[in-house]
Amino acid sequence: MKLVFQKDALLNGISIVSKAIPSKTTMTILECILINADANDIKLTGNDMELGIETKVEGSILERGKIALEAKLFYEIIRKLPDGDTPVTITSDNRFNTVIECENAVFNIQGRDGDEFSYIPYIEKNKYISLSQFTLKEVIQQTIFSISPNDSNKMMAGELFEVNENQLKVVSLDGHRISIRNVTLKDHYENTKVIVPGKTLSEISKILGGDNEKEVLIYFSANHILFEFDQTMVVSRLIEGEYFRIDQMLSSDYETKLSINKKEFLDCIDRATLLVREGDKKPIIIHITDGSMELKIDSAMGSMNEDIDIEKEGKDILIGFNPKFLIDALKVIDDETIDIYLVNPKAPCFIRDEEETYTYLILPVNINQNQAR
């Protein structure tokens, strides 16, 4: 096999597929990237058996063939080759000895037989949806923070993708909060419900360009999901089982509704957390009265309180929250003014817009009255 690349294109391809290389595995072939130039294009593949990524890379095929190279070493060699327009040449013989050349730098490394590599499963392309790269990237970033990757309940390590005609609903939860985003699609599609691993979505959001003009096609099969965009395809196993019935947790009843400037609220909580060491479970205490919200925090490092102007309907309320949970939700809301709905100090609060394009449910923290004074 003999291939010629531009360094930037090759490096970009390696960094995309490296996201599917496992950090620990007993199968050493999975620590490799497959370079496949058997046909008319050059494909790089990484696969950890749960997540597989394949991307096409621009380059010239002087001799066809395929080889598997140890991913970390391959990435570091290409990264440290001289910059500029000098091409990178990769040559391998029938014993998988591989030579990587650029300018005066010549590396000799041992590759492995490409046929040993585990191929990505083939996915039927019958059931699918299409949306922009920008929208998918946004929706992931707006929900991924409330999965619970290490939970014994594997459902919490994934996100629900539910298609209902021209609506896509994405849901994540970790036992303390729920994040929901609703997206209107351009077409009507077959209804479907799948649970996608959070790790898959996290890696996809790093690869996506975020272009509003470019589409992502998402295909669904019984056990897998396939994302196709640009020159890349990402295949992931789905999490099996029935997702939580969240509808019964989502109430539209409230005793208190307040409208508040999002940036002021976020900045205020951010300031308050200066007094909280990482790992401390100090709640931020919020006292809502007519026209005003008082925020307080009290820790071993000191105390802070601040008032913010609000518009309020309904009852006064004193309630405590984990500040991180509020910050995570507020950071991903674009609206200038947000509406918060509360029932009582022990019931969840809801942050949602009128169209319900987003809903964030956050459970409060029990506070005793001494903390609140």
Based on the domain organization, do 71 and 136 belong to the same domain?
no
* Nearest alpha-carbon partner for 344 in 315, 304, 301: 315
With beta carbons less than 8 A apart as the criterion, state whether 287 and 294 touch: yes
Based on the domain organization, do 96 and 147 belong to the same domain?
no
**Is residue 121 domain-resident?**
no
**Is residue 32 domain-resident?**
yes
Provide the terminal-to-terminal Cα distance of the chain, rounded to the nearest Å.
74
**Is residue 34 domain-resident?**
yes
What is the DSSP code string of 40-101? SSEEEEEE-SSEEEEEEE--EEEE-EEEEEEHHHHHHHHHTSPPSSPPEEEEE-TT-EEEEE
Domain count, the chain: 3
Of 179, 212, 246, the one marking the end of a domain is: 246
Report how far residue 258's alpha carbon sits from residue 314's, in angstroms, rounded to the nearest whole number. 9
Token digits of residue 119: 């191929």
Based on the domain organization, do 18 and 33 belong to the same domain?
yes
Of 87, 116, 145, the one marking the end of a domain is: 116
The total number of residues written for the chain in this structure: 373
Structural domain that includes position 67: 2-116
Based on the domain organization, do 140 and 112 belong to the same domain?
no
Based on the domain organization, do 224 and 273 belong to the same domain?
no
CB neighbour list of residue 103: distance below 8 Å, 6 or more residues apart = 81, 82, 84, 86
With beta carbons less than 8 A apart as the criterion, state whether 372 and 288 touch: no
* CATH code (residue 326): 3.10.150.10
Find the DSSP H helices in 242-350.
262-272, 323-331
Give the pairing type, strands 256-261 and 311-314. antiparallel
**Is residue 284 domain-resident?**
yes
Based on the domain organization, do 191 and 274 belong to the same domain?
no
Question: What pLDDT, on a 0 to 100 scale, did the predictor assign at position 189?
Answer: 97
**Is residue 286 domain-resident?**
yes
Report how far residue 321's alpha carbon sits from residue 367's, in angstroms, rounded to the nearest whole number. 9
Based on the domain organization, do 66 and 78 belong to the same domain?
yes
Token digits of residue 98: 């591989």
With beta carbons less than 8 A apart as the criterion, state whether 181 and 142 touch: yes
pLDDT in tens, the chain (373 residues): 999 999 999 999 999 999 999 988 999 999 999 999 999 999 999 999 999 999 999 999 999 999 999 999 999 999 999 998 899 999 999 999 999 999 999 999 999 999 999 989 999 999 999 999 999 999 999 999 999 988 788 999 999 999 999 999 999 999 999 999 999 999 999 999 999 999 999 999 999 988 889 999 999 999 999 999 999 999 999 999 999 999 988 989 999 999 999 999 999 999 999 999 887 889 999 999 999 999 999 999 999 999 999 999 999 999 999 999 999 999 999 999 999 999 999 999 999 999 999 999 999 999 875 555 5
Helix (H/G/I), strand (E/B), else coil: 351: strand
**Is residue 122 domain-resident?**
no
Token digits of residue 232: 């890349």
Based on the domain organization, do 145 and 74 belong to the same domain?
no
Asked whether the CA dihedral 162, 173, 15, 23 is positive or negative, the reply is negative
Question: pTM value?
Answer: 0.94
Q: If you average pLDDT over every residue of the chain, what do you get?
A: 95
Based on the domain organization, do 151 and 194 belong to the same domain?
yes
- Structural element, H or E, at residue 198: helix 198-207
Token digits of residue 251: 């109430």
Based on the domain organization, do 241 and 286 belong to the same domain?
no
> Apex CA 233: angle with CA 232 and CA 236, to 5°?
145
Based on the domain organization, do 333 and 226 belong to the same domain?
no
Q: How many Cβ atoms from other residues are within 10 Å of residue 327's Cβ?
A: 18
CA 248 to chain centre: 26
Phi, psi at 171, each rounded to 5°? -130, 140
Question: What pLDDT, on a 0 to 100 scale, did the predictor assign at position 320?
Answer: 97
With beta carbons less than 8 A apart as the criterion, state whether 345 and 317 touch: yes
**Is residue 190 domain-resident?**
yes
CA 361 to chain centre: 19
DSSP state of 161: E
Based on the domain organization, do 134 and 148 belong to the same domain?
yes
Of 246, 272, 291, the one marking the end of a domain is: 246
Question: What pLDDT, on a 0 to 100 scale, did the predictor assign at position 367?
Answer: 86
With beta carbons less than 8 A apart as the criterion, state whether 234 and 207 touch: yes
Helix (H/G/I), strand (E/B), else coil: 231: coil
**Is residue 162 domain-resident?**
yes
Tell me the per-residue pLDDT of 47-60, one tens digit each, with 9 for 90 and over: 999 999 999 999 99
Tell me the per-residue pLDDT of 244-299, one tens digit each, with 9 for 90 and over: 999 988 989 999 999 999 999 999 999 999 999 887 889 999 999 999 999 999 99
